[in-house]
Amino acid sequence: MKILAVTSCPTGIAHTYMAAEALEQAAKAAGHEIVVETQGAAGAVPFTPEQLAQADAVILAADVEVRGRERFAGKPTVSTGVKRAINGANDLINEACAVAADTAVTTTAMAAGRASGDSLGLATKVDAEAGFGTKLRQWLMTGVSYMIPFVAAGGILIALSFILGGAVVATKVNGGTFQGHTYPGVTDVSKLLEQTGYAGVMFKIGSTAFSMLDAMLGVRGDSETTFPEWASTT
């Protein structure tokens, strides 16, 4: 049997990929073919038209809204949360097979997933019918998911810059006094490498990434918000 699966968690990091790995291993052990689309912080590779056409069943393991859910219209579908995919991947594979065997059933909402607090995937990143409190939470979680790559990459670069250049690197880049020595700072970015070395370049890139956090948090991810195409793939 050919199965398609989508995994997605609020932050788009750990649970998204843990669920994907668990489903892949369970499907392989049961002798089925599976392709997983991870809608996480690292971006997503969408299913091809051929994969969509040949799929016998679909598993949506998501705690946030599934992007492009309309692609699976008419396909036997099991919807649940990522925690259940991680802890009960074998059961999900079996349920997907059972749903596929009954062509009259197009969607199965897992009672166990609801009882554990897992939420179902929706067609858009923000549920238009939800109350203000729910929308606010979804907006914030969407913004946080876009922030995480900047936090991780920026933090790593700043840490490496301190390792290579010492604590003085920040003062060399921004200007000021460090241990009695005054640095003018870098006013011409084209001379950043020459004046501060690779450590200064890494610090500048990292601090610039941190300066974008407010903008990333402001990405709501609903139909009222527009943002650059590159941001929509993170």
CB 6 within 8 A of CB 60: yes
Q: Where are the beta strands (DSSP E) in the chain?
A: 2-8, 33-38, 57-62, 77-80, 107-109, 176-178, 181-183
Question: CA-CA distances (angstroms) from residue 230 to 25, 40, 43, 204, 234?
Answer: 31, 14, 10, 21, 7
Q: What is the three-class DSSP state of 70?
A: helix
Of 9, 86, 92, 93, which residue is the catalytic one? 9
Length of the chain: 234
In order, the DSSP letters of 155-200 are: HHHHHHHHHHH-TTHHHHHH-EEETTEEE-----GGGHHHHHHHHH
Q: What CA–CA distances, in Å, run from 5 to 15, 52, 156, 185?
A: 14, 11, 32, 51
Nearest Cα to 13, choosing from 122, 146, 113? 146
Give rounded-to-5 percent helix, strand, coil for the chain.
Answer: 50, 15, 35
9 an active-site residue? yes
Half-sphere exposure of 79 (CA within 13 A, CB side): 18
Cross-strand pairs, 34: 3
Active site amino acids: 9
